Structure 1
């Protein structure tokens, strides 16, 4: 890729609520128009829940993960790679942005392995991302099109797997040598074991320590533990896993931006400038309201 990219992960109520989503997408569109190269990665858990309920299919979770059996998988793929992905693409197009939607399985953008059982419970078609290939993303960005990636990966045998969107975004950021990885979240920010917002994280080990504390003391939700893990993986990634020639020292700055950003009524130019100020070298930062 010519110039480094920013990977943004969107999920939770910021994705579900149309008015909040609209403000977020306007901010992304403004950044794109100001020359930032963006890859948007999304989940869609609440949309999946709604579709399962319509179809009368029970929702099952274990250890914070969706149990994705043979009946649930087609719904997950249809909602993530279809409904939600194309919704975001069409809304970006309405904002004057050329966008293209793909799933992580397209072009082997995301490769995953089956998640092992947890506590003896088989999670079904749930995957753990093992590799990301940015070739397709490079081609899309090279055509001045903003890629929108759903969190559906492919296993080496070709089967589709439901993967965590935070992990998907982290893997893509590492593979693409992204300048920054932004988690747009509907909680106050990155949380510690007591549920308090962490203003900054030392990449040398705080992520791993906080994740361990969250898991052992029960002070954070399952997705919060996984976000710690994703940041840890991104910050400690080997340069060899990055795209060749991706940039200077290959550092990726991580940032958790709060739900308060959607209340911003400031001008697009001001919003873009302040968003850029969030990313400092050598640390993981919790975003302030814009």
Structure 2
């Protein structure tokens, strides 16, 4: 009986927050090792389903880097990156498309099993992301794209019907060519197109830390003016740079709040 009362108290305590965010778009990006860990991804999808069922409008954008790397290695393909972008030749694009499609379908099925409604979307399924080739001086990185536009109206129609869009970061060009897109940047542009209340990037680490060896050095709040200096000092580095860039871009274009959150913490989405 006591446990039941505690659960009821938690729901009552959550009511003001549910009311505050009701019908507001919240874009969540997951990827990396989260997608390889069934417990982690199930927790994330449970949070997404809960948000949907209480009247929030979650949108899930996912990557699939480790799964793609694993598949490429099994097929004898070299895994290569240039300035944070996966070098994507025709065979690599085929692998990326299949792996993202598989992951997308699995997440849609799980959300539906949890009692919410979900729909899988990407460049070649729903054509929600319009893209163009990303050029890099002195290096051909293949079928890597940048976002030209987002079909926000299609997403808004799904949200108005209480459907969770689950989006893989593949864009379609005017020439019908498929392009591989950075998932963090895709999430940011989708958040901007929806005038989202929040953009949440789930990571494999605690967040931005002054010292990665010191647990108490987490930077819980960061102002835009601090970012450049922290990059120069090497505090923000490697894979965290594109995530911070995505957050900054979203904030500059009207998204109210952005968060970089440790996706391994149970209920981290609801805690935010």
TM (norm. structure 1) is: 0.78
Among 95, 109, 117, the residue aligned to 2:114: 95
Moved over 6 A (4+): none
Give yes or no for the alignment of 1:259 onto 2:228. Answer: no
Conserved in 1, the CA contact under 8 Å of 2:40 and 2:264? no
Among 51, 63, 67, the residue aligned to 1:47: 67
Conserved in 1, the CA contact under 8 Å of 2:200 and 2:259? yes
Give 1 or 2 for the bigger CA radius of gyration.
2
Conserved in 1, the CA contact under 8 Å of 2:23 and 2:55? no
Among 225, 241, 244, the residue aligned to 1:228: 244
Q: Deviations over 1:75-124 (max 9, x none)?
A: 111111x1110011111112112111011455552222222225x22111
* Alpha-carbon distance between aligned partners in 2 of 1:221 and 1:91, rounded to the nearest angstrom: 34
Equivalent residues in 2 for 1:10-29, closer than 5 Å = 10-29=30-49
* Alpha-carbon distance between aligned partners in 1 of 2:108 and 2:74, rounded to the nearest angstrom: 24
What is the CA-CA distance between 1:232 and the residue it aligns to? 1.0
What is the CA-CA distance between 1:184 and the residue it aligns to? 1.2
Structure with the larger helix share = 2
Conserved in 1, the CA contact under 8 Å of 2:28 and 2:202? yes
* Alpha-carbon distance between aligned partners in 1 of 2:64 and 2:71, rounded to the nearest angstrom: 11
Q: Which moved more, 1:102-111 or 1:9-18?
A: 102-111
Q: CA RMSD in A?
A: 2.3
User: Where does structure 2 lack aligned partners over 5 or more consecutive residues?
Assistant: 1-21
- Matched residue count: 247
Equivalent residues in 2 for 1:1-290, closer than 5 Å = 3-80=23-100, 82-104=101-123, 106-117=125-136, 120-191=138-209, 195=212, 197-203=218-224, 205-207=225-227, 209-210=228-229, 213-214=230-231, 216=232, 218-237=234-253, 251-262=255-266, 275=271, 278=272
